[in-house]
Amino acid sequence: MGTKTQPQPQKENERRIRANDREFNAQFKYADNFIKTSKYTLLTFLPFNLLEQFQRLANFYFLCLLVLQLIPAISSLTPVTTAIPLIGVLTLTAVKDAYDDIQRHLSDSQVNNRRSKTLRNGQLIDAKWSGVQVGDVIRLENNQFVAADILLLTTSEPNGLCFIETAELDGETNLKCKQCLPEITELGQRHDLLWNFNGEIICERPNNLLNKFEGTLIWRNQRYALDNEKILLRGCVLRNTQWCYGVVIFAGKDTKLMQNSGKTQFKSTGVDRLLNFIIIGIVLFLLSICAFFTLACAIWESFIGQHFQVYLPWENIIPKNVAQGSTVIGLLVFFSYAIVLNTVVPISLYVSVEVIRFAQSFLINWDEEMYYERSKTHAKARTTTLNEELGQIQYIFSDKTGTLTQNIMTFNKCSINGRTYGDVFDLRTGEVIEVTDALEPVDFSANPEFEPDFRWYDRTLLDAVRSDEEHSQNFFRLLALCHTVMPEYVEGRLEYQAQSPDEAALVSAARNFGFVFRSRTPNSITIEVKGNREEYELLNIIDFNNVRKRMSVILRRGDDIILYCKGADNVIYDRLSTSQNDIKARTQDHLNVSFRLKFSFSKCI
């Protein structure tokens, strides 16, 4: 930091970074954290925008026509008749494109001027995102966006854990867990120790692979392997973690988010392509007419027109030879008719399309039916050139239903030990009553941790839980323990952050029935059952995957070791003993008749 650093050789396929040493990192000329997604500047707007506009065939056609009208020998019309409409179209489109790019500039400015706490000379200062450089140590706080791609150093959570939301990167709202190197966690949030941290990072070059990172940290003469689990990417949001510190590895255009964004390019819509196709047809029709007139004029001049030169003399540029003169006159007539018949190509059509697009973008922004009241968010047309594409969608490819729906799961029914709960029966007829808003839900207010939004209509399950019925107790104890949900307190109220909506729904159900998940550490899980705290030692978590199709946790309480498992019904069925065939059959009937939910069981070993 205060010492002279010598230039270091760097291989083409690697990147060298030294924490808290801007002089060392400056020799490699790494990108700063300033981003730019706009297309134009004041100097480049006119040439680049005109180049894009002349990619439209109609604009290019009228430009060629304007050039022809500047030649007196073939033009019978003043160039103004073509110049004014063409300039009008170009100006209108340029104004619309300028508006779009101004919005990009404003967005870039807003992002670049976000504030980030950066460590400088042992002190934490408030700096702009654009001022952050590779090798800087920055501090992030809960619910804050990550300013650049960083190597996680320390966190507020035990064992160096932190949780992030990656919705800006991959659209996933579930939380992901990251963990820093255990050897660095001792630095904590002591600024003197973090400022003296001089680890050297050797890693891969910038790339767009979100799920891959390879590198090595050299610190105190030791080498530590780095992978994607120790990296926080720009665009992520820190969740359920009070604070964390990290050293910047990639900044600005080198971050994986910007590597995936690519350069802003000119985009043409289906309507544009259709108009270009139509214009090609119209121009070919126009050329065929002009070619016919050219041929007819050459023939007429060869056989008849040459005899009327006393009354209709040829121009001086026309050869005196009859054959040559007729040919030249025919060619000049070709261009003259192209000018006279220029109205065949409808330049006004482009004006109409541009005006409609521009107005449509505002109608989308003002549409009350596209207003999301919960987050108070209006629809926003980020470009005025692609609006009509929304109405021409033919196929939607989705990896899961949650992408197309609100992705909300609710706890409606369950089957416990061969008995189903959740249906409400008419006491007179014995028939199932349809659940509507008019039906009175079960009152959970006796539970201080109940959720007012939770709805359950079958009181028999609550009575079974309160009467300490063994199977219902085990069922909800499993739901409260077998998961990866993280608890947090928001304004004094317990809330859950789950990796998936079904996990959130199951843990929420257990909470309302009196089995409240309170806290977790890397080595323990604590729940509260009817006001009594139960702490379990966490021995292992085996996450759900596409092969196992189930999730398991192994816990210890006292002298008992307990395995809780939940997963797909067919996977759980295969692990039941033959003595449970009756329960299996009844449960399968419940699944077939009324619902399709996760089946679960607990087992002591």
In angstroms, rounded to a whole number, what is the distance separating the alpha carbons of residues 241 and 225? 24
β-bridge mates for residue 532, sequence order: 529
Closest by CA to 496, choosing from 478, 483, 508, is 508
The structure tokens listed for 284 are: 């070919």
- In this structure, how many other beta carbons lie within 10 angstroms of the beta carbon of residue 593? 8
3-class DSSP assignment, residue 329: helix
Q: Does the annotation count 126 as an active-site position?
A: no
Work out the angle at residue 300's Cα, subtended by the Cα atoms of residues 298 and 301, and round it to the nearest 5 degrees: 65
Provide the CA 140 distance to its chain's centre, in angstroms: 21
81 labelled binding-site residue = no
401 labelled binding-site residue = yes
In angstroms, rounded to a whole number, what is the distance separating the alpha carbons of residues 452 and 337? 78
Work out the angle at residue 387's Cα, subtended by the Cα atoms of residues 386 and 388, and round it to the nearest 5 degrees: 100
3-class DSSP assignment, residue 107: helix
Strand order in the sheet with 175-179: 175-179, 161-165, 237-239
Q: State the amino acid at position 523 in one-letter form.
A: N
3-class DSSP assignment, residue 368: helix
294 labelled binding-site residue = no
Catalytic: which of 97, 100, 227, 399?
399
Q: Does residue 319 contact residue 350 with C-beta atoms inside 8 Å?
A: no
Closest by CA to 53, choosing from 40, 69, 42, is 40
- In our burial notation (b when 16+ CB lie closer than 10 A, e otherwise), range 135-162 reads bbbbbbebebbbbbbbbbbbbbbeebbb
- In this structure, how many other beta carbons lie within 10 angstroms of the beta carbon of residue 416? 20
Q: Number of C-alpha atoms within 13 angstroms, CB side, residue 94? A: 17
- In our burial notation (b when 16+ CB lie closer than 10 A, e otherwise), range 496-520 reads bbbbbbbbbbbbbbbbbbbbbbbeb
In angstroms, rounded to a whole number, what is the distance separating the alpha carbons of residues 320 and 341? 29
544 labelled binding-site residue = yes
In angstroms, rounded to a whole number, what is the distance separating the alpha carbons of residues 325 and 518? 99
- In our burial notation (b when 16+ CB lie closer than 10 A, e otherwise), range 386-400 reads bbeeeeeeeeeeeee
3-class DSSP assignment, residue 243: strand
560 labelled binding-site residue = no
DSSP structure string for 132-158? --TT-EEEEETT-B--SEEEEEEESSG
In angstroms, rounded to a whole number, what is the distance separating the alpha carbons of residues 29 and 24? 10
β-bridge mates for residue 238, sequence order: 164
Strands 486-490 and 115-120 turn out to be unpaired
503 labelled binding-site residue = yes
252: which DSSP letter?
G
Q: Does residue 16 contact residue 134 with C-beta atoms inside 8 Å?
A: no
349: left (phi over 0), alpha (psi -120 to 50) or beta: alpha
3-class DSSP assignment, residue 438: coil
Residue 455, exposed/middle/buried by CB under 10 A (0-12, 13-18, 19+)?
A: middle
Annotated binding site for ATP: 399-401, 503, 544, 566
- Hey, which residues are catalytic here? 399
**Residues of the binding site for Mg(2+):** 399, 401
